[in-house]
Structure 1
Amino acid sequence: MMVKLQSKLIESVVYDAESQDLRIHMCNGQIREFSSVPTSVFENLVRARSAGRFYMDNIRGQYLSAD
């Protein structure tokens, strides 16, 4: 599932619920990939008032990264 976000940091996110892989497309063109991300974290990211802040506080450094 791909979701476009209105964020200064994140352009869009792609989530695969079966594999729990999360791919974050940053506004600067970088792509960050994370594994073992629960569906609830993806849903909270998409609903967050600030997707960038949610990413910084709850995803970056918390999940295995392919970066």
Structure 2
Amino acid sequence: MHRQAVSSSTIASIGYDREEHLLEIEFVNESVYRYRLVPESVYRDLLGAPSQGRFFNQKIRDVYPTEQVD
């Protein structure tokens, strides 16, 4: 999955698969996680959030099924 780099102190890059509703996040510590069943609107809101780390903690972490990739 292609991820785009973002300017965040905790998140390095973000990718999204529209067909699978799969959000992939690479953190600055180089770990990569996939979040399933994420609506595209949540992905767009994450990209546009003033603080992507805060948005992730409030709206994504512990909300969607997760698996570590790396």
Which category describes the TM-score, using the shorter chain as reference length? over 0.9
Aligned partners of 2:3 and 2:24 also within 8 Å:
no
Gaps of 5+ in 2: none
Residue 64 (1) aligns with residue 68 (2):
no
Structure 1 runs (4+) deviating above 3 angstroms are none
Aligned partner of 1:6 in structure 2 is 7
- Residues in 2 aligned to 1:52 and 1:31: alpha-carbon distance in whole angstroms: 14
Taking only the aligned residue pairs, the percentage that are identical comes to 33
Letter in structure 1 aligned against 2:34 = E
Aligned residues: 67
TM norm structure 1: 0.94
Deviation at 1:3, TM superposition (A): 2.2
Superposition deviation, residue 45 in structure 1: 0.3
Q: TM-score, normalised by structure 2?
A: 0.90
